[in-house]
């Protein structure tokens, strides 16, 4: 017997774990024995290179060890062959081949860690731990023995259990049908895709390939909005983003907002099924597109996480949304839904899995749950209002003591629809606007050009319209410049003192850009445009107000603007419009597509799925449609910024002219009341 205290000492960084191992122990074996997070797909066969490590040599006072160049064995044939064929960065070794022969310090680089953290830029955001439900395992399977007969599947299962600790894996019929051929093609060495929904769940074999699968397996994180559908494709083994894309939701042709789609389903036999087909076709197209972007086939996508509001949730699942059209707004199911991709006809891997995050209430969906996952109000020390701006806005208010949630049907105005010159955020769209408060002359920037419209070289003929963030800025600037008044009325040329205000029927419009002289476009902001934005933002603010009432507060500490175009909204302009409650401008931040991010977190981290199920259960839901105070808040919020709330923080940052034009049309509250009906 040798004296184990004389065995070489191994110290792993960054974990700091250490232990003594017999000379000749592979680094991967030592790492596993110490619980060091070192990846491997091939299980130590020197072919997947996921267990790359970096030995550090020298005297390490901190660790009390001297690590000498000879502390690891020389390159063996397997390792050398890997380096020759595939290459290995300077200083790197394969952890499964290099063996310990002396005291050594070994660094595990981030990309070799199984449960590595994916860094997110914003400090307050939840970090992502890579812990996907879908894992690849390379196994060597025993060959059949006539005298001890057992099925190929049973021997594959035994290999998964013995080599990877995956116990009791189940195989669906299509896998069983492929199994024998693949095992023989791979000469009893195969890579198996195993999906384990959560710790303790029955592992499910989704597919297998001969030998070591080198191509990535992909996961799709989908934010299925009323107006737009966004998708991110992530490598399920590394978490790396492979592609992102978005399309318009083709259901728009059945109704621009959710309630008009529910009405369509109620009024037209087969209407719900028609919308289901449309949504699934769009998802299928999007999946094919992101796969192509990533240089993959749709079948390489093995998992998808979908977040959406309850109406989209029911429609895409093929559940008639009729019950969401009237009180008590009963969901068919509120918990997370897990099913096969083939059931939704997504066109991805036929055994692929789809996970819908849980809904919070009849009008507060999995998208709000995803926003909670991304923005984590439930762990915030200060009181945060998270507003996910879209055709249906999801609103969360809370801190670690309590989180409240509601949704508000803002309509598609913020996404550029219902706006006379509105368009998607694409090349040619005006996205930034400034209006001189003295001359009332505008300058702006369009997507696709670096300079402002008043700078030399600007191409005015390339302007095509205004996108969502542009319309918010231009109306806010019009309010600051005295072109629209507190009620949202656009002033006449005389009242404003600018020839850019022009008659438009019985009302007035502001000419933002006119290139008609050179055959170019003319972009105006009409009274109707202002009304559309007023209605949308009043719904948003009224929802936020209800949550603040319930919480018993008159102000919030900070506001997070989220949504497909949330990142592009100027905080100051959002405050000028009164889209959000008053708050110091510096405390208004953008989170980008938080729902999409939440979907991506749930895709990459099984633990997050369990976490969100807990959070959703604790969230307190407010049903705006039946709250009597919603109407009063809505009417007050039609004003710019608000009729009853003074917005002192905003007024520290900007001066709002105290202005009211004489007009025939009034404030538009009645119009708003009509739009509010849900059932």
Which positions lie near a second copy, rule CB under 8 A? 143-147, 149-154, 171-173, 176-177, 179-181, 317-320, 322-323, 327-335, 337, 339, 343, 359-362, 621, 623, 626
Element (H, E) at 173: helix 173-185
Other residues' Cβ atoms within 10 Å of the Cβ of residue 521? 16
d(CA 41, CA 50): 7
Shortest spacing between CB 354 and a second copy, in angstroms: 10
d(CA 165, CA 137): 11
CA-closest candidate to residue 172, choices 317, 354, 305, 340: 340
Shortest spacing between CB 144 and a second copy, in angstroms: 4
Shortest spacing between CB 194 and a second copy, in angstroms: 17
Pairing of strands 117-118, 128-129: antiparallel
Q: Which is nearer to a second copy, 33 or 162 (CB)?
A: 162
Shortest spacing between CB 253 and a second copy, in angstroms: 23
Pairing of strands 620-621, 402-408: parallel
Q: Which is nearer to a second copy, 142 or 289 (CB)?
A: 142
Shortest spacing between CB 148 and a second copy, in angstroms: 9
Q: Which is nearer to a second copy, 57 or 326 (CB)?
A: 326
Cβ atoms of residues 568 and 468 within 8 Å: yes
Shortest spacing between CB 266 and a second copy, in angstroms: 13
Cβ atoms of residues 491 and 525 within 8 Å: no
Other residues' Cβ atoms within 10 Å of the Cβ of residue 341? 25
Q: Which is nearer to a second copy, 269 or 505 (CB)?
A: 269
Q: Which is nearer to a second copy, 176 or 451 (CB)?
A: 176
- Map tokens 């929904």 to a residue: 197
Cβ atoms of residues 564 and 390 within 8 Å: yes
Shortest spacing between CB 619 and a second copy, in angstroms: 10
Q: Which is nearer to a second copy, 308 or 564 (CB)?
A: 308
d(CA 423, CA 471): 10
Other residues' Cβ atoms within 10 Å of the Cβ of residue 8? 22
CA-closest candidate to residue 607, choices 129, 161, 4: 129
CA-closest candidate to residue 421, choices 513, 540, 485: 513
d(CA 76, CA 99): 10
Cβ atoms of residues 379 and 618 within 8 Å: no
Phi first, then psi, for residue 251 (nearest 5°) are: -65, -10
d(CA 386, CA 631): 22
Q: Which is nearer to a second copy, 149 or 165 (CB)?
A: 149
- Map tokens 């008590």 to a residue: 328
d(CA 11, CA 358): 43
Q: Which is nearer to a second copy, 180 or 644 (CB)?
A: 180
Shortest spacing between CB 611 and a second copy, in angstroms: 19
The token duo for 108 is: 């595990």
Q: Which is nearer to a second copy, 133 or 413 (CB)?
A: 133
Q: Which is nearer to a second copy, 105 or 612 (CB)?
A: 612
Shortest spacing between CB 345 and a second copy, in angstroms: 12
Q: Which is nearer to a second copy, 332 or 654 (CB)?
A: 332
Other residues' Cβ atoms within 10 Å of the Cβ of residue 238? 17
Shortest spacing between CB 147 and a second copy, in angstroms: 7
Shortest spacing between CB 323 and a second copy, in angstroms: 5
The token duo for 588 is: 């208004």
Other residues' Cβ atoms within 10 Å of the Cβ of residue 658? 8
Beta bridge partners of 429: 465
Q: Which is nearer to a second copy, 77 or 168 (CB)?
A: 168
Shortest spacing between CB 301 and a second copy, in angstroms: 19
């Amino acid at each position: 017997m040798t004296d184990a205290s004389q065995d070489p000492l191994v110290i792993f960084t960054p974990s700091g774990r250490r232990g003594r191992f017999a000379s000749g122990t592979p680094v991967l074996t030592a790492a596993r024995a110490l619980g060091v997070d070192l990846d491997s797909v091939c299980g130590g066969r020197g072919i997947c290179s996921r267990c790359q490590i970096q030995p550090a040599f020298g005297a390490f006072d901190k660790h009390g060890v001297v690590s000498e160049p000879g502390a690891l064995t020389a390159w063996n044939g397997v390792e050398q062959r890997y380096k020759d064929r595939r290459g290995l960065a300077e200083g790197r070794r394969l952890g499964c081949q290099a063996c310990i022969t002396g005291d050594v310090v070994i660094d595990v680089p981030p990309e070799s860690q199984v449960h590595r953290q994916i860094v997110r830029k914003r400090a307050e955001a939840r970090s992502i731990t890579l812990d996907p439900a879908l894992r690849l395992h390379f196994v060597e399977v025993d060959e059949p023995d006539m005298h001890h007969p057992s099925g190929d599947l049973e021997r594959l299962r035994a290999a998964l259990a013995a080599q990877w600790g995956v116990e009791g894996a189940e195989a669906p019929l299509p896998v069983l049908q492929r199994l024998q051929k693949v095992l023989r093609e791979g000469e009893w060495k195969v890579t198996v895709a195993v999906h384990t929904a959560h710790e303790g769940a029955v592992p499910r074999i989704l597919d297998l390939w001969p030998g070591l699968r080198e191509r990535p397996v992909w996961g799709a994180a989908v934010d299925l909005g009323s107006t737009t559908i966004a998708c991110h494709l992530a490598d399920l083994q590394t978490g790396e983003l492979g592609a992102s894309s978005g399309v318009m939701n083709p259901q728009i042709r059945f109704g621009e907002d959710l309630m008009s789609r529910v009405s369509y389903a109620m009024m037209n036999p087969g209407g719900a099924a028609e919308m289901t087909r449309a949504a699934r076709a769009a998802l299928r197209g999007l999946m094919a597109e992101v796969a192509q972007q990533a240089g993959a086939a749709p079948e390489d996508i093995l998992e998808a996480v979908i977040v959406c509001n309850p109406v989209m949730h029911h429609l895409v699942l093929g559940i008639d949304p009729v019950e969401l059209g009237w009180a008590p707004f009963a969901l068919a199911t509120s918990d997370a839904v897990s099913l096969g991709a083939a059931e939704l006809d997504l066109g991805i891997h036929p055994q692929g899995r789809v996970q819908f995050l849980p809904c919070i209430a009849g009008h507060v969906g999995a998208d709000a749950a995803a926003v909670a996952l991304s923005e984590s109000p439930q762990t915030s020390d200060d009181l945060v209002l998270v507003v996910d701006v879209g055709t249906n806005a999801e609103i969360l208010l809370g801190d670690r003591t309590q989180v409240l949630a509601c949704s508000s049907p803002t309509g598609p105005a913020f996404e550029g629809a219902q706006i006379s010159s509105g368009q998607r955020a694409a090349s040619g769209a005006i996205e930034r606007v400034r209006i001189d408060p003295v001359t009332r002359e505008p300058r702006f920037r369009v997507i696709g050009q670096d300079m402002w419209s008043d700078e030399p070289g600007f191409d005015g003929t390339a302007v095509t319209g205004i996108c969502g963030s542009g319309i918010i800025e231009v109306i806010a600037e019009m309010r600051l410049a005295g072109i629209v008044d507190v009620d949202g009325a656009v002033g006449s040329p005389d009242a404003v003192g600018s020839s850019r205000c022009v008659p438009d029927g019985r009302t007035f419009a502001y000419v933002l850009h006119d290139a008609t002289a050179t055959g170019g476009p003319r972009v105006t902001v009409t009274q109707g445009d202002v009304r559309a934005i007023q209605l949308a933002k009043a719904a948003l603010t009224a929802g936020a107000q209800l949550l603040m009432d319930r919480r018993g507060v008159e102000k919030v500490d900070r506001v997070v603007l989220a949504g497909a175009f949330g990142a592009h909204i100027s905080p100051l302009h959002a405050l000028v419009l009164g889209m959000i409650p008053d708050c110091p401008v510096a405390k208004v931040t953008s989170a980008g597509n938080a729902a999409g991010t939440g979907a991506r977190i749930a895709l990459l981290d099984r633990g997050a799925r369990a976490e969100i199920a807990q959070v959703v259960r604790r969230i307190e839901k407010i049903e705006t449609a039946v709250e009597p105070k919603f109407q009063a808040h809505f009417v007050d919020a039609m004003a710019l910024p608000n009729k009853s709330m003074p917005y002192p923080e905003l007024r520290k940052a900007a001066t709002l002219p105290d202005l009211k034009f004489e007009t025939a049309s009034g404030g538009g509250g009645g119009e708003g009341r009509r739009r509010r009906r849900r059932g």
